[in-house]
Structure 1
Amino acid sequence: MPQQLFEKSLESFDKRQESFEKRLESLEDGQKNIAEDLNVLKYNFTRFENDIIPKINALFDGWKQHSEQLNRMEEQVSKHEEFIIKRIK
């Protein structure tokens, strides 16, 4: 009888150990997936910093120059408009 109890305990222990090994393997796989996702995020962030931000800055600079040019043109048109109005009166 004690031998049977020992064998059942051993079987139960083996099953638990297998279960823990499966869970550990699952956790390790999850950790690998997280590490891969982190590497992708690092790559995308670096690309964003090095490629996209300078392009956005260049577009903003172009928009700013265009806006300044329009303001200068508007001032010139206003001056001409005033001159024409004075000539008409």
Structure 2
Amino acid sequence: MNNEEKLFELMTQMYSEMQKRFTQVYSEMQKGFTQVYSEMQKGFTDLGDRIDKVENRLDGVESRLDKVESRLDRVEKTVVHIENDHGQKLSALFDGYKQNSDKLDRIETEVSKHEEIILRRVR
């Protein structure tokens, strides 16, 4: 065997070994990619589940908020009714107070007149 044949055989052997190594590297990369893909899919599934839970909780919160708004509307209507009712009652009380005050002023005027008459007679 001459040098060229030895060199050719060595190159063929190196080529064969490189092909094996490339195949192994490719296989390992495929396994890694498959594992990463699997983990990503699991992560997406878990994330989807968590988003579903958040959406369910948000639906519950929206439902409760609707109930609170409904109750607030009823309370506002009640407050308006109470304010109107009490406003009318206070107005009536003030009118009565004014009438009593006017009457007391008239009585006081009359008492003053009578007091003057009595004092003139006493002197």
Q: Which TM-score applies when normalising by structure 2? A: 0.60
The percent identity for this pair of structures is 34
Is 1:85–2:108 an aligned residue pair?
A: no
Q: TM-score, normalised by structure 1?
A: 0.78
Letter in 2 for 1:5: E
Return the letter of the residue paired with 1:55: K
Match of residue 92 from structure 2: 58
Q: Where does residue 7 of structure 1 map in the other structure?
A: 41
Indicate yes or no: 2:75 matched with 1:38: no
CA RMSD, 1 decimal? 2.0
Counterpart residue number, 2:22 = none
Structure 2 stretches lacking a partner, 5+ long = 1-34
- Cα distance in 2, alignment partners of residues 78 and 43 from structure 1: 52
Where do 4+ consecutive residues of structure 1 move more than 3 Å? none
Equivalenced residues, count: 89
Unaligned runs of 5+ in 1: none
User: Is the counterpart of residue 19 in structure 1 residue 16 in structure 2?
Assistant: no
